[in-house]
Amino acid sequence: MRVLVTGGAGFIGSNLVRGLLERGDQVRVLDNFSTGSRENLADVESDVELVEGELRSYERVHAATRGVELVFHQGALPSVPRSVQDPLTTSAVNVEGTLNVLLAARDEGIRRVVVASSSSVYGNSGSLPRVESQAPDPIAPYAVAKLAAERYCVSFSRVYPLETVALRYFNVFGPGQNPHSQYAAVVPRFISAIAVGEPVPVYGDGEQSRDFTYVGNVVAANLLAAEADGVNGEILNVASGRSETVNDLAEVLGRILERPVEKEFLPERTGDVRHSWADVGAARRLLGYEPEVGFEEGLRLTADAFVGV
């Protein structure tokens, strides 16, 4: 099958590209390398068709969709803190960019678009674990943009002959995640700090909780969402289905790396959600999804990829 992965040079996108190649697909990647990296695709560079371009350009997105049967839309401008600093660009890439992908897919007669969304759309409202039927309450501009992108997916599935599935990712981590970015996620940042004996930065008291999800589980969910029947227009949680505090994360990584952990407590970040934990029952029922790699196993695989343990 010929497929397009937008944002295929990013952390999640490049892992998905490898999963698609492993199952024998012909893969085209669209990326502008603003947050992704050519290094993420170095080992498969000769096996993919690379198109450099902006999601904000309909013409470039349309060109990238020609001749493919399926689109995995992973491209985005990530990070809650970045969106607080620059909500305009966050909206342009994540909302307008998604709309361009959907329009191009519609115009090219693509069968289905699988879109990456975010647990951040839930905000702090409602009970835990988060269930898709809960009313969204986004806090940060990033979350607002992701929610808008979701609603465009549902709209297109209803008014055009285009199938869509949106997957709400919960705190994805794994090999290939950048630990050095200003907006680096907590897992690679903690691994890098602990490995060299530096304190780990903890925003707030560290008792905020997250459903840390290994990237291999996310790749599996995307592959299932691309082929499952009866899921047109669905929005589904993709997570591990359990919750860990940031303090617990630091301690587990300390054990894995066999190094002491020192914490540097910093002020809470504007826009951050206090607790996040997913119910993955709908993904189990509709996709056959199962988070096969658990929290500690995923951390070991990630730490080994970064520093070797």
The per-residue pLDDT for range 190-213, each reduced to its tens digit, is 999 999 999 999 999 999 999 999
Per-residue pLDDT for 236 more than 60?
A: yes
Q: Is 142 a catalytic residue?
A: yes
SS (H, E, C) 256-274: HHCCCCCEEEECCCCCCCC
Q: How far is CA 257 from each of CA 9, 88, 113, 189, 210, rounded to the nearest angstrom?
A: 28, 40, 39, 14, 21
Query: What are the residue boundaries of the structural domains of the chain, listed by start?
Result: 2-173+213-241+277-292
Q: Could you report how far apart the first and last alpha carbons of the chain are, in Å?
A: 37
- CA angle, corner 43, sides to 37 and 48, nearest 5? 80
The reported pTM is: 0.96
pLDDT in tens, 98-115: 999 999 999 999 999 999
**pLDDT band, very low/low/confident/very high, at 126 (cuts 50, 70, 90):** confident
**Tens of pLDDT, residues 20-54:** 999 999 999 999 999 999 999 999 999 999 999 99
Q: Which pLDDT score is estimated for 253?
A: 98
Query: Within 10 A of 269 (CB to CB), how many other CB atoms are there?
Result: 12
pLDDT at 308: 64
At residue 147's C-alpha, the angle toward residues 141 and 152, to 5°, is 125
Q: What is the dihedral of CA 216, 153, 36, 192, to 10 degrees?
A: -50
185 and 142 Cβ atoms separated by less than 8 Å: no
Please tell me the total number of residues recorded for the chain in this structure. Answer: 309
Is residue 288 very low, low, confident or very high in pLDDT (cuts 50, 70, 90)?
very high
pLDDT in tens, 69-106: 999 999 999 999 999 999 999 999 999 999 999 999 99
What secondary structure letter does DSSP report for 228?
A: -
The pLDDT tens digits of the residues spanning 43-52 come to 999 999 999 9
* pLDDT confidence bin for 125, thresholds 50/70/90: confident
Cα torsion angle, 12, 13, 18, 21, sign: positive
From 58, 122, 142, 289, the catalytic residue: 142
| Alpha carbons 103 and 32: distance in angstroms, whole number | 19
* 185: Cα separation from own chain's centroid: 11
The number of beta carbons lying within 10 Å of the beta carbon of residue 34 is: 14
Which stretches of 9-96 are DSSP H helices? 11-22, 58-65, 80-85, 87-91
Query: What does the pLDDT read at residue 178?
Result: 87
**Cα–chain center distance at 286:** 20
Contact (CB, 8 A) for 121 and 237: no
Cis omega before residue 129 (within 30°)?
yes
Q: Which option is the CATH number for 2-173+213-241+277-292: 3.60.9.10, 3.40.50.720, 3.90.1170.50, 3.30.930.10? A: 3.40.50.720
